């Protein structure tokens, strides 16, 4: 690979200025440091979120049994070590919120958009390093508030991650709807501000700061994915912010946007004329695009990892870009599929069924293109590659059941059952998590200058892969048997007694899977300090980030920024000795650039 070694003179380019500990590690404006900050904060939140899921899974498998874990972690919420029904709902709610927003939105996009956008398009940094820093610190603040909300007197928010009013609006409806919900809303409002600052920065950077030769059609698919994700975020997050603000008004200032005709605990409330259905529309106008905000970056990472490790160009680059755009567009007009039985006009339901099932088309194209990329490749089974293949597998399994849920007639009977839990965990949760892991294994050398241990990576992948299917596959079946989600226990329905053993199996897989994430954490933190030193381009990859020196420097490249002469997928191109040709290598004489 030395043939392609960057030969720029290693002189100072004037971007260096003295850095103190504070400006380097804390209030850093360098995108690589901010990426690491996002990653580590996201990881810590992930540990909390996964731990919560293990606790409520234990309750579901052995309902209302005392457990030392509950006693140790839940305190007054587990009298005699038995989990309380209120805290069950709180755990589910905060688990969902943390996983979707804090881990797979901020942790995933925040880390990899920040790390890769400047490095892969050939920019010295983000368009605004300052806004980038503010974005991270707002995210940090919102994480802290969310964690603090776990400790309030009446309990954390417990109305589900969708926080539908009136449940979320009335403290007398549920303990968690008091101070806990206030903090939840404040935390989310700050989170949204952070996300918007980040997204605007990503968009501007991609549009303005591409290096010479980096046309839009030469962009790696990672950048396309981050770019479009940022656009969806800018379009949809403000709507959630408005929903949150209106909910705060209803809760604290007596307005009636979402509330009407309520009689609770022996008294009539003053609210009149509002509608909870309005909130559902506002929430899902973000909520559905949100699943693509979570998923698209993971797919972008997968495109890069699969192409590099297959030593083949990604199949159908143009179709991949087109399907990202199609998914992004369609994702903003399908939100109503969460509301087929909300009381919304059935005709609207028909329209949403139509748009929803359309999304299956670009999704199918993506899946087929990944599979074709593997065909006749020379697959390097690095841990990142395994997670990417795993992503395609869970994306297919989870995506297919979307055909059932998106079909309004069928949704009548599986809406809000465990079928939904199975579906969205596979297609969004697990897929995006795999994408995040793939990204970490692939770019760890770029982030920390050291390699992760591959054998630990293999163990991590295979156990996680088995457990993910072990947990979520059977859930389809208890859902189809009619078991509603967000139930503290199923034992009040003898009807479901024959499903109790399924719940035990699911929980065992969940516990094993959860505990094995420790293998990853160990690998991650120990390799950061003791891992093998990374070479400059360990995966023999084409993209620009691998032309920058291993040691992080402010401004990314010591000399001039490399120019780009080709797309990023010239792997195994005939006429070249090596099986990769980095983007900064000029075309040979007579060599044609692929017409894409």
Partner 1 sequence: MTALLTILVLVFILVAIWQMVKIFDLAQAKVENSQIATDNDNRINGYLMISFLAFIYIITIVSFVKWGDLPLLSNSASEHGPQIDNLMIISLTIIFIVQTVTQFLLHYFAFKYKGEKGRKALFFADNNKLETIWTIIPVIVLAGLIIYGLSTWINIMGVDESDDPLVVELYAQQFNWKARYAGEDNTLGKANVRLIDFDRANILGLDEADPNAQDDVITTELHLPVGKPVLFKMRSQDVLHSAYMPHFRAQMNCVPGMITQFGFTPTVTTAEMRLTPEMTDKVVNINNIRVEKSKELIANGEPALDRYEFDYLLLCNKICGKSHYNMQMKIIVETQEEYNAWMKEQKVFKNSLIN
Kindly list the residues in this chain that would bind Cu ion in the complex (CB under 5 A).
288
Task: Count the alpha carbons within 13 Å of 230 in the hemisphere toward its beta carbon.
Answer: 24
Q: Which of partner 1, Cu ion, ligand HEM, none does 124 bind, CB closer than 5 to 8 A by kind?
A: none
Residue 303 contacts residue 222 (beta carbons within 8 Å)? yes
483 touches ligand HEM by CB under 6 A: no
Q: Annotate each residue in 536-565 with x if it binds ligand HEM (CB under 6 A) or - if it does not, as one string.
A: ------------------------------
Q: Which of ligand HEM, Cu ion, partner 1, none does 433 bind, CB closer than 5 to 8 A by kind?
A: ligand HEM
510 touches ligand HEM by CB under 6 A: yes
Q: Is 410 exposed, middle or buried (0-12, 13-18, 19+ CB in 10 A)?
A: middle
Dist CA 195 CA 234 (whole Å): 8
Among 130, 151, 354, 525, binds partner 1 (CB under 8 A): 354
Q: Which of partner 1, Cu ion, ligand HEM, none does 245 bind, CB closer than 5 to 8 A by kind?
A: none
28 touches partner 1 by CB under 8 A: no
Q: Any idea what DSSP says for residue 314?
A: P
CB 513 to ligand HEM: min, Å:
6
207 touches partner 1 by CB under 8 A: no
Residue 373 contacts residue 308 (beta carbons within 8 Å)? no
Q: Which of ligand HEM, partner 1, Cu ion, none does 68 bind, CB closer than 5 to 8 A by kind?
A: partner 1
Q: Is 258 exposed, middle or buried (0-12, 13-18, 19+ CB in 10 A)?
A: buried
Dist CA 15 CA 124 (whole Å): 9
Q: Annotate each residue in 65-84 with x if it binds partner 1 (CB under 8 A) or - if it does not, as one string.
A: --xxx---------------
Q: Which is nearer to partner 1, 241 or 314 (CB)?
A: 314
Q: Which is nearer to Cu ion, 407 or 591 (CB)?
A: 407
Spatial neighbors of 98 by CB under 8 A, at least 6 apart, are 45, 46, 48, 49, 52, 146
Dist CA 307 CA 379 (whole Å): 9
**Scanning residues 129 to 188, which ones bind ligand HEM (CB under 6 A)?**
160-161
308 touches ligand HEM by CB under 6 A: no
The residue number whose beta carbon is nearest to Cu ion equals 288
Among 42, 63, 96, 457, binds ligand HEM (CB under 6 A): 96
Q: Which is nearer to ligand HEM, 57 or 218 (CB)?
A: 57
Residue 450 contacts residue 424 (beta carbons within 8 Å)? no
**Scanning residues 275 to 304, which ones bind ligand HEM (CB under 6 A)?**
none
Q: Which of partner 1, ligand HEM, Cu ion, none does 510 bind, CB closer than 5 to 8 A by kind?
A: ligand HEM
Nearest-CA neighbor of 514 among 50, 40, 69? 50
Q: Which is nearer to partner 1, 465 or 561 (CB)?
A: 465
Q: Which is nearer to ligand HEM, 474 or 531 (CB)?
A: 474
CB 130 to ligand HEM: min, Å:
31
The separation between CA 72 and the C-alpha centre of its own chain, rounded to angstroms, equals 30
Residue 592 contacts residue 574 (beta carbons within 8 Å)? no
Structure tokens belonging to residue 306: 């699969």
Structure tokens belonging to residue 437: 């892991």
Dist CA 10 CA 203 (whole Å): 31
Q: Which of partner 1, Cu ion, ligand HEM, none does 95 bind, CB closer than 5 to 8 A by kind?
A: ligand HEM
Dist CA 160 CA 287 (whole Å): 13
**Scanning residues 505 to 534, which ones bind partner 1 (CB under 8 A)?**
508, 511-512, 515-516, 518-519, 522, 531-532
409 touches partner 1 by CB under 8 A: yes
**3-class DSSP string for 538-565:** CCCCCCHHHHCCCCCCCCCCCCCCCCCC
95 touches ligand HEM by CB under 6 A: yes
CB 478 to ligand HEM: min, Å:
10
538 touches partner 1 by CB under 8 A: yes
Total binding residues toward partner 1, as defined by CB under 8 A: 148
Among 48, 52, 89, 181, binds partner 1 (CB under 8 A): 89
Structure tokens belonging to residue 234: 């800018």
Among 87, 100, 121, 158, binds ligand HEM (CB under 6 A): 100
Q: Which of ligand HEM, Cu ion, partner 1, none does 131 bind, CB closer than 5 to 8 A by kind?
A: none
63 touches ligand HEM by CB under 6 A: no
Residue 31 contacts residue 108 (beta carbons within 8 Å)? no
Structure tokens belonging to residue 583: 């983007």
Q: Is 423 exposed, middle or buried (0-12, 13-18, 19+ CB in 10 A)?
A: buried
Total binding residues toward ligand HEM, as defined by CB under 6 A: 24
Dist CA 361 CA 327 (whole Å): 9
Among 8, 124, 486, 552, binds ligand HEM (CB under 6 A): 486
Spatial neighbors of 368 by CB under 8 A, at least 6 apart, are none
58 touches partner 1 by CB under 8 A: yes
Distances 190 to 137, 200, 238, 376, 529 between C-alpha atoms, Å: 10, 16, 12, 48, 33
216 touches partner 1 by CB under 8 A: no
Dist CA 282 CA 306 (whole Å): 37
Q: Annotate each residue in 422-461 with x if it binds partner 1 (CB under 8 A) or - if it does not, as one string.
A: -----------------------------xxxxxx-xx--
Spatial neighbors of 364 by CB under 8 A, at least 6 apart, are none
Helices (H), 100-220: 111-121, 129-148, 179-208
43 touches ligand HEM by CB under 6 A: no
Interaction site with ligand HEM (CB under 6 A): 50, 53, 57, 92-93, 95-96, 99-100, 104, 160-161, 421, 425, 428-429, 433, 471, 485-487, 510, 513-514
């Amino acid at each position: 690979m030395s043939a392609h070694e960057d030969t720029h003179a290693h002189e100072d380019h004037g971007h260096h200025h003295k850095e103190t500990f504070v400006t380097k590690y804390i209030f850093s404006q360098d995108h690589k440091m901010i990426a690491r900050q996002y990653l580590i904060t996201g990881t810590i939140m992930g540990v909390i979120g996964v731990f919560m899921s293990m606790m409520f899974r234990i309750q579901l498998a052995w309902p209302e049994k005392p457990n030392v874990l509950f006693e140790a972690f839940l305190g007054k919420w587990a009298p005699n070590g038995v989990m309380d029904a209120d805290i069950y709902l709180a755990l589910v709610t905060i688990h969902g919120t943390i996983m979707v927003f804090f881990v797979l939105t901020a942790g995933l996009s925040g880390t990899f958009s920040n790390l890769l956008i400047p490095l892969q398009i050939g920019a010295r940094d983000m368009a605004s390093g300052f806004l980038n820093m503010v974005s991270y610190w707002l995210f940090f603040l919102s994480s802290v508030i969310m964690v603090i909300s776990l400790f309030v007197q009446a309990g954390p928010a417990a109305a589900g991650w969708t926080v539908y009013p009136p449940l979320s609006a009335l403290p007398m409806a549920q303990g968690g709807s008091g101070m806990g919900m206030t903090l939840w809303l404040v935390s989310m409002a700050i989170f949204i501000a952070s996300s918007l600052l980040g997204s605007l920065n990503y968009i501007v950077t991609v549009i303005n700061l591409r290096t010479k030769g980096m046309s839009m059609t030469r962009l790696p698919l990672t950048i396309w994915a981050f770019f479009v994700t940022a656009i969806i975020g800018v379009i949809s997050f403000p709507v959630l912010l408005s929903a949150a603000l209106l909910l705060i008004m209803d809760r604290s200032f007596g307005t009636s946007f979402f509330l009407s005709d309520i009689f609770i605990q022996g008294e009539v409330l003053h609210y009149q004329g509002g509608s909870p259905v309005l909130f559902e529309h506002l929430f899902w106008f973000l909520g559905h695009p949100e699943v693509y905000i979570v998923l698209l970056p993971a797919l972008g990472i997968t495109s890069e990892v699969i192409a590099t490790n297959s030593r083949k160009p990604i199949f159908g680059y143009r179709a991949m870009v087109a399907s990202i755009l199609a998914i992004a567009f369609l994702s903003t007009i399908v939100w109503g599929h969460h509301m087929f039985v909300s009381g919304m006009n059935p005709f609207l339901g028909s329209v949403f069924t139509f748009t929803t099932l359309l999304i299956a088309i670009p999704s199918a194209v993506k899946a087929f293109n990944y599979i074709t990329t593997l065909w006749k490749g020379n697959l390097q089974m690095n841990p990142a590659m395994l997670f990417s293949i795993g992503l395609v597998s869970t994306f297919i399994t989870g995506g297919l059941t979307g055909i059932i849920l998106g079909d309004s007639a069928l949704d009548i009977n599986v809406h809000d059952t465990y079928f939904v839990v199975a579906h969205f965990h596979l297609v969004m949760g697990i897929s995006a998590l795999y994408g995040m892991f793939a990204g970490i294994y692939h770019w760890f050398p770029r982030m920390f200058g050291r390699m992760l241990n591959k054998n630990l990576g293999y163990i991590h992948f295979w156990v996680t892969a088995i457990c993910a299917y072990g947990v979520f596959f059977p859930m389809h079946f208890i859902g189809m048997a009619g078991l509603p989600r967000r139930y503290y226990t199923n034992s009040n329905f003898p009807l479901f007694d024959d499903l109790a053993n399924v719940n035990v199996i699911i929980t065992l897989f969940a516990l094993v899977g959860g505990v094995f994430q420790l293998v990853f954490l160990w690998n991650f933190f120990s390799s950061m300090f003791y891992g093998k030193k990374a070479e400059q381009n360990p995966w023999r990859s084409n993209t620009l980030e691998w032309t920058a020196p291993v040691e992080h420097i402010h401004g990314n490249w010591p000399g001039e920024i490399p120019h780009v002469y080709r797309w990023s997928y010239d792997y195994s191109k005939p006429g070249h000795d090596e099986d990769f040709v980095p983007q900064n290598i000029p075309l040979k004489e007579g060599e044609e650039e692929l017409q894409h």
